[in-house]
Structure 1
Amino acid sequence: MKKLFFFILVAIASPALAQEYKAFPMWDTKLPTDQRVSDLVARLTLEEKVKQMLNAAPAVPRLGIPAYDWWNETLHGVARTPYAVTSYPQAIAMAATWDTAALHLMADYSATEGRAVHNRATAEGKNNQRYMGLTYWTPNINIFRDPRWGRGQETYGEDPYLTAKLGAAFVRGLQGDDPTYLKAAACAKHFAVHSGPEPSRHVDNFSPSAHDLWDTYLPAFQELIVHAGVAGVMCAYNAVDKQPCCANDLLMVDILRNKWKFNGYVTSDCWAIDDFFKYHKTHKDSASAAVDAVMHGTDIECGTSVYYTLVNAVKNGLITEEQINTSVKKLFTIRYRLGMFDPPAMVKYAQTPDSELESPQHVAHALKMARESIVLLKNSQQLLPLRKTLKKVAIIGPNADNKIAVLGNYNGMPSHVVTLLDGIKARLGQEVTIHYEKAINYTDDSLLVYRDITPFLSFNGQAGIQAQYFNNDNLQGEPLHTVIEKEIDHYWSEGQTPAPGLSTTRFSGRYTTYLKASATEPLNIEMDADDGYRLYVNGKIRIDAWQRNRWGARQFQLPVVKDSVYKLVVEFYQNEGNASIRLKAGNRVKTDFNALAQRVKDADVIIYAGGISPQLEGEEMPVKVPGFNGGDRTTIQLPAVQTQLLQALQSTGKPVVFVMMTGSAIACPWEDRNLPAIVNAWYGGQQAGNAIADVLFGDYNPSGRLPVTFYQSDSDLPAFSDYSMKGRTYRYFQGKALYPFGYGLSYTNFTYKQLTITGNTAAATVTNTGTREGEEVVQLYISHPGIPGAPVKALKGFQRIALRPGESRQVQFKITPDDLALVDTNGHLYTPKGKALVSIGGGQPGVANKTTSNVLTATVDNLTHE
Structure 2
Amino acid sequence: MFHKQLLAASVSLMMLSAKAQTPVYKNTSYSFEERAKDLVKRMTLEEKVSQMMNKSAAIDRLDVPAYNWWNEGLHGVGRSGMHVTVFPQAIGLAATFDKQAMYKTADIISTEARAVHHAYERKGSRDIYQGLTFWTPNINIFRDPRWGRGQETYGEDPYLTAQMGIQLVKGFQGNDPKYLKITACAKHFAIHSGPENSRHSFNVAVSNYDLADTYLPAFHDLVVDGKVASVMCAYNAFGGQPCCGNDLLMTNILYNQWKFHGYVTSDCGAIDDFFKGHKTSTDATSAAADAVIHGTDVECGHTYTTLVNAVKQGLVAESKVNESVQHLFEIRFRLGLFDPASMVKYSSIPESVLESAPHKAQALQMARESIVLLKNANNLLPLSKSIRKIAVLGPNANDSISVLGNYNGFPTKTTTVLQGIKDKLGKNVELTYERGTDFVTNKDNVDFAAIANRVKDADVIVFVGGITPSLEGEEMPVKIEGFDGGDRTSIDLPHVQTAFLKALNATGKPIVFVMMTGSALATPWEAGNIPAIVNAWYGGQATGEAVADVLFGDYNPAGRLPVTFYKSTDQLPSFTDYSMNNRTYRYFSGEPLYGFGYGLSYTTFAYSNFGVPSSVVTGKPVTVSVDVQNTGKVDGDEVVELYVKHGTGVKAPIHALEGFERIHFKAGEKKTVKFTLTARQLSVVDDNGVRLQVPEKLQLFVGGQQPTAAALSSKKVINKTVEVKGNQIVIEDLGLH
Bin of the TM-score, shorter chain as denominator length: over 0.9
Q: Root-mean-square deviation (CA), in Å?
A: 1.6
Q: Does 1:858 align with 2:720?
A: yes
Q: Establish whether residue 676 from structure 1 lines up as the match of residue 544 from structure 2.
A: no
> Of the candidates 670, 677, 690, which is equivalent to residue 808 of structure 1?
670
Contact 2:460 2:510 in 1 (8 A): yes
- Deviation of 1:23 (Å): 3.0
Deviation string, structure 1 residues 240-270 (Cα, Å, up to 9, x no partner): 0110000000000000000000011000000
- The equivalent of 1:249 in structure 2 is 247
- How has the CA–CA distance of structure 1 residues 25 and 766 changed in structure 2, closer, same or farther, with 3 Å as cutoff? same
Shift of the 158–673 alpha-carbon distance from structure 1 to 2, 3 Å rule, reads same
Q: Structure 2: how far apart are the matches of 1:788 and 1:738?
A: 28
Whether 1:429 aligns to 2:426 is yes
Q: 1:852/1:132 Cα in 2 relative to 1: closer, same or farther (>3 Å)?
A: farther
Structure 1 residue 735, shift from structure 2 partner: 0.5
Give the equivalent residue in structure 1 for 2:38.
39
> What amino acid sits opposite 2:719 in the alignment?
T
Deviations 1:606-633 (A, max 9, x none): 0000000000000000100100000000
Bigger helix fraction: 2
Question: Percent identity between the aligned chains?
Answer: 58
Which amino acid is 2:102 matched to?
Answer: L
Counterpart selection for 2:464 from 583, 587, 609: 609
Q: How does 1:254-403 map to 2 (within 5 A)?
A: 254-303=252-301, 305-403=302-400
Alignment of 1:27 onto 2:26: yes
Letter in 2 for 1:359: S
Q: Deviations over 1:256-285 (max 9, x none)?
A: 000000011000000000000011111100
Give the structure 1 partner of residue 9 of structure 2: none
How far off its partner does 1:851 sit?
Answer: 14
Query: Aligned pair 1:67/2:81, yes or no?
Result: no
Task: Give the SS at the match of 1:818.
Answer: coil
The offset of 1:850, in angstroms, is 12
Residue 83 (structure 2) pairs with residue 84 (structure 1):
yes
User: Which deviations, in whole Å up to 9, do the C-alpha atoms of 1:192-226 show, x marking residues without a partner?
Assistant: 00000001100100121000001000000000000
Name the structure 2 match of 1:459: none
**Number of corresponding residues:** 700
Contact 1:743–1:849 at 8 Å: present in 2 too?
no
Instruction: Find the counterpart in structure 1 of residue 692 from structure 2.
Output: 830
- Matched-pair contact (CA < 8 Å) for 1:277–1:283: yes
| 1:797–1:813 Cα contact (<8 Å) kept | yes
Deviation at 1:767, TM superposition (A): 0.8
Cα distance in 2 for residues equivalent to 1:754 and 1:102: 28
Structure 2 CA distance for partners of 1:439 and 1:50, relative to 1, 3 Å: same
| 1:56 corresponding residue in structure 2 | 55
Question: Residue by residue, what CA displacement relative to the aligned partner does 1:432-458 show, whole Å, maximum 9, x if unpaired?
Answer: 1110011000111123xxxxxxxxxxx
The structural deviation recorded for 1:806 is 1.1
Given that 2:385 and 2:552 are in contact with CA atoms closer than 8 Å, whether structure 1 keeps it comes out as: yes
Other structure's SS at 1:613 match: coil
1:777 aligns with 2:632: no
Query: Which residues of 2 match residues 61-210 of structure 1 at below 5 A?
Result: 61-126=60-125, 128-210=126-208
For 1:811 and 1:280, the matched residues in 2 are separated by 50
- Give me the whole-angstrom Cα distance separating, in 2, the residues matched to 1:685 and 1:195: 24
Q: Is the 8 A contact 1:749 1:851 kept in 2?
A: no
Matched with 1:452 is: none
CA contact (8 A) 1:21 1:62 kept: no
Q: Which one has a larger percent strand, Structure 1 or Structure 2? A: 1
Tell me which residue corresponds to 1:643.
Answer: 498
Contact 1:749/1:852 (<8 A) preserved: no
Distance in 2 between residues matched to 1:58 and 1:631, nearest whole Å: 34
CA–CA distance in structure 2, aligned partners of residues 34 and 264 of structure 1: 11
Cα separation, 2, equivalents of 1:421 and 1:849:
36
Structure 1: how far apart are the matches of 2:182 and 2:723?
48
CA contact (8 A) 1:198 1:632 kept: yes
Amino acid at match of 2:324: S
Compare 845-854 and 768-777 and name the one that shifted more. 845-854
Aligned residue runs from structure 1 range 211-226, under 5 A = 211-226=209-224
Conserved 8 A contact 1:843-1:852: no
Out of 508, 513, 523, which is 1:658 matched to? Answer: 513
Deviation at 1:383, TM superposition (A): 0.1
Aligned to 1:593: 448
Which aligned pairs between 1:471-620 and structure 2 lie closer than 5 A? 590-620=445-475
Q: TM-score, normalization: structure 1?
A: 0.80
Question: How far apart are 1:358 and its partner, in Å?
Answer: 0.6
Q: Report the 3-state secondary structure (helix = DSSP H, G, I; strand = E; otherwise coil) of the residue aligned with 2:612.
A: strand
CA contact (8 A) 2:19 2:27 kept: no
Query: What's 2:567 paired with?
Result: 712
> Aligned in 2, Cα 1:722/1:22: closer, same or farther, shift over 3 Å?
farther
Who is 1:743 aligned against? Answer: 598
Gaps of 5+ in 2: 1-17, 617-621, 725-737
Distance 2:191 2:504 in 1: 43
| Alpha-carbon distance in 2 for matches of 1:833, 1:347 | 51
Q: How does 1:229-248 map to 2 (within 5 A)?
A: 229-248=227-246
Q: Secondary structure at the match of 2:522?
A: coil
| Distance across 2 between alignment mates of 1:833 and 1:64 | 60
Q: Is the 8 A contact 1:268 1:300 kept in 2?
A: yes
**Alignment pair present for 1:841 and 2:716:** no
1:708 and 1:311 map into 2 onto residues whose CA distance is 46
Structure 2 residue aligned with 1:527: none
Please give the secondary structure, in 2, of the residue aligned with 1:446: coil
TM-score w.r.t. the length of structure 2 is 0.94
| Aligned equivalents of 1:47, 1:166: Cα separation in 2 | 40
* Maintained 8 Å contact 1:21/1:64: no
- Helix, strand or coil: the match of 2:401? helix
Contact in 1 for aligned 2:712/2:718 (Cα 8 Å): no
Question: Residue 392 of structure 2 aligns to a residue in which SS?
Answer: strand
Is contact 1:71-1:135 (8 Å) kept?
A: yes
Classify the secondary structure of the residue corresponding to 2:591. Answer: coil
Q: What's the CA shift string for 1:648-705, capped at 9, x where partnerless?
A: 0011111000000000000000000001000000000000000000000000000100
Deviation at 1:861, TM superposition (A): 7.5
Q: Which runs of 5+ in 1 are unaligned?
A: 1-18, 448-589
Query: How far is the alpha carbon of 1:33 from its aligned partner?
Result: 1.3
Residues of 1 paired with 2:21 and 2:354: CA distance?
33
Is the Cα contact below 8 Å between 1:785 and 1:792 reproduced in 2? Answer: no
Q: Which amino acid letter does the alignment assign opposite residue 593 of structure 1?
A: F
Q: Is the 8 A contact 2:482 2:489 kept in 1?
A: yes
- 2:714 and 2:146 map into 1 onto residues whose CA distance is 29
Letter aligned with residue 417 of structure 1: T
